[in-house]
Amino acid sequence: MINFDEEIKKFHPSLEIDDTEDAIYNSSVTDMTDIMLELMEEMKEN
Amino acid sequence: MKCFNCGSTLSGSDFCSNCGVRVTVYKKIIRMSNTFYNMGLMKAQNRDLSGAAESLERSLRLNKRNTKARNLLGLVYYEMGETVQALSEWVISQNYDSTNNLANSYIKLIQSNGNRLEEMKRNIKNFNTALKMAKRGADDVAIIQLKKVISQNPRMVKGRQLLALLLMKTGEYERARRELRKALSVDRCNTLSLRYMKEVEALLQREKKNPEKKQKDPIEERQALSGDAVIVPPHAYREPTNGAVTILNMVIGLLLGALAMYFLVTPVRVQNEVDKNNDLVRTYNQRIAIKNSSISELERQVASLTEEKEKLQKQADQNTSQGKNTVSNYENLITALSAYADQKYDNAADALGQISEDVAMDSQVFDTVYKNLKASLKDTMAKNYFETGEKAYDAGKYEDAIAAYKRCLETDANYADAMYKMGCAYYASGSRDESTEIFKQVVDTFPGTQAASEAQQFVPDYKGGSQNEE
């Protein structure tokens, strides 16, 4: 059985076009390579 | 594959040939990213957009510089109706690699059509408004808004899912199923769509089994209306969803329109045309009448002018003959004068004798000259006339002789012989009465002359008057 209230909570407003810039800035740009480099830096320091 | 440290191209070894850094793990990460990209590509080709998005996101989590994965993710988002997310991915991709990047053309495509961009903005706003309404409990308003959104952006999966949810809540399972089907046609393996579809089919099955007991609210009971709830009164009209019905309605509408044109508009236009034509006919008739009267008037003028012309023609002919006679008289006069000047009196008398005294010369000069010449040539002319008469008498042409003698007497009334001979001519021609009269006249006018005594012989009993007694 579907719970309407629960289901409706899963829907989020779509980003507006004017908010594209913020969306880009706030997007996570860290990937595995960055993590690997961080680890290598830490290892070097240690 | 480029080295993460120095950017040089890597070879098959575990170390960078340029900077010497160990690249084993790095290469594994890159390979795994590419693997996820391939998975994402395959899912996208199979229309499993949500699955593709997940794989591509994983690929990017491993290697954020995987441009292909990012571009494809943008496409997947765009196809699902998430324009802003698509644009974000493409902008980021362009940032990482601006040369020969497909993302450049995708961004240009969207930005080039300003109207389309505005439409997308409006659509997104409408969806957010609809979601807000749905969360507040204004289901009908939300449904209306969502229908508008979907009509503008038919591939918006999220919009269709929300609409299907609301339709399920209001008990319109069949319509909800239709929306979910459409959502699944865009994103085939979307878990949310599949779940809703399973639910709606179960509800429909239940409804079929128990048609009387309609399931009022399988989704939880509606909550009581709050103070600021918007109530939209339902209306009976439902838009026909079937295309055939729409086409039929259009055809009926066209037919009705055609009939209205035929029965309402066309007679009026026809009448207007008829009136216009009648006015034209009237105008032309008036013109014709005017022309006819002009023609009659002209015909009258022609007739009168013809008559006048004939009159003038006659007059001209008369004048011509008169002119000819006038010219002849002048010529004879000139000839007579010329002969008189040459002392050829007989010729002059002949010419003068040919002048016709019946012709009106209308010239005082002519008359004066003629009279003077005539007076001068009187004897000669009289003599000439007499001799002409004699010749005619001798030839037995008594009438000509009489005419000549008369002219002689006109020229010279005292020419006794001429009178006598005229009497003889009358006598010879059988006109006794005339001859008797003339003989009596000779006796009376010229008594004691030879002519009188010869005339007396014809009238022996006549004693004569005492007028000219010598």
Query: How many residues belong to chain B?
Result: 470
Distances, alpha carbon B280 to alpha carbons B167, B270, B272, B283, B398, in Å: 68, 15, 12, 5, 86
Q: Identical fold at B24-112 and B118-209?
A: yes
Sign of CA dihedral B381, B386, B389, B395: negative
Q: What is the 3-class SS of B25-46, one letter each residue?
A: HHHHHHHHHHHHHHHHHHHHHC
CB contact under 8 A, B92 and A16: no
Tell me which amino acid residue B365 is. Answer: V
Give this complex's ipTM.
0.86
Separation in Å, CA of A28 to nearest CA in chain B: 9
A·B CB contacts under 8 A: 95
Q: Please name the fold of domain B118-209.
A: 1.25.40
- Nearest neighbour of A3 by CB, restricted to B26, B128, B220: B220
Assess contact for B52 and B72: CB atoms under 8 A.
yes
Q: Which residue has the tokens 């991915």?
A: B89
To the nearest 10°, report the CA torsion of B137, B141, B143, B149. -120
Q: What are phi and psi of B97, to 5 degrees?
A: -150, 105
Query: Which of B31, B33, B28, B95 has the alpha carbon at shortest distance from B61?
Result: B33
CB contact under 8 A, B84 and A19: yes
B171 Rama class: left (phi>0) / alpha (psi -120 to 50) / beta: left
- Nearest neighbour of B84 by CB, restricted to A16, A31, A36: A16
For chain B, the domains span: 24-112, 118-209, 377-470
Residue of A nearest to B161 (CA): A11
Residue of B nearest to A8 (CA): B135
CB-CB neighbors (< 8 A) of B26 in chain A: 33, 36
- Nearest neighbour of B169 by CB, restricted to A4, A16, A30: A4
CB contact under 8 A, B124 and A8: no
Mutate to test the interface with B, among A19, A31, A36, A38 (most CBs of B within 10 A): A31
For Cα atoms B287, B292, B293, give the angle at the middle one, nearest 5 degrees: 100
Six token digits for residue A5:
């209230």
* CATH class of domain segment(s) B377-470: mainly alpha
Give every CB contact of residue B46 below 8 A, 6+ residues apart in sequence: B188
Q: How many CB atoms lie within 10 A of CB B331?
A: 13
- Nearest neighbour of B218 by CB, restricted to A1, A23, A27: A1
Q: Which residue has the tokens 């709050």?
A: B226
Assess contact for B420 and B440: CB atoms under 8 A.
no
Q: How many CB atoms lie within 10 A of CB B235?
A: 6
Give every CB contact of residue B128 below 8 A, 6+ residues apart in sequence: A13, A14, A16
Tell me which amino acid residue B54 is. Answer: E
CB contact under 8 A, A24 and B84: no
Six token digits for residue B168:
């399920």
Q: Which residue has the tokens 């002392």?
A: B343
**Distance (Å, rounded) from C-alpha B237 to C-alpha B361?**
120
Q: pLDDT (tens digit, 0 to 9) for every residue of chain B, 470 residues total?
A: 888 778 888 888 888 888 888 888 888 889 999 999 999 999 999 999 999 999 999 999 999 999 999 999 999 999 998 888 899 999 999 988 888 899 999 999 888 888 888 888 889 999 999 999 999 989 999 999 999 999 999 999 999 999 999 999 999 999 999 999 999 999 999 999 999 999 999 999 988 888 765 545 445 445 555 556 666 666 666 665 667 888 999 999 999 999 988 888 888 888 999 999 999 999 999 899 889 988 998 999 899 999 999 998 888 777 777 777 888 999 999 998 998 888 787 788 788 888 888 888 888 888 999 888 888 888 877 888 899 999 999 999 999 999 999 999 988 899 999 999 999 999 999 999 999 999 999 999 999 999 999 999 998 888 766 444 44
User: Largest alpha-carbon pair distance within chain A?
Assistant: 56
Q: Could you tell me which CATH number the domain at B24-112 has?
A: 1.25.40.10
Q: What are phi and psi of B324, to 5 degrees?
A: -60, -45
**Distance (Å, rounded) from C-alpha B244 to C-alpha B247?**
5
Give every CB contact of residue B74 below 8 A, 6+ residues apart in sequence: B85, B86, B87, B88, B89, B90, B93, B103, B106
Mutate to test the interface with A, among B64, B91, B170 (most CBs of A within 10 A): B64
Six token digits for residue B250:
């259009």
List, for residues B108-127, the tens digit of each pLDDT value.
Answer: 988 888 888 888 888 999 99
Query: Which of B280, B304, B300 has the alpha carbon at shortest distance from B292?
Result: B300
Which uninterrupted H or E stretch holds B71?
Answer: helix B67-79
Query: Which of B224, B139, B185, B152 has the alpha carbon at shortest distance from A8?
Result: B139
CA B221 from chain center: how many Å?
Answer: 74
Give the three-state DSSP class for B9.
Answer: strand
List, for residues B168-220, the tens digit of each pLDDT value.
Answer: 999 999 999 999 999 999 999 999 999 999 999 999 998 888 876 554 544 54
List, for residues A5-37, the tens digit of each pLDDT value.
Answer: 888 888 888 888 888 788 788 776 788 888 888
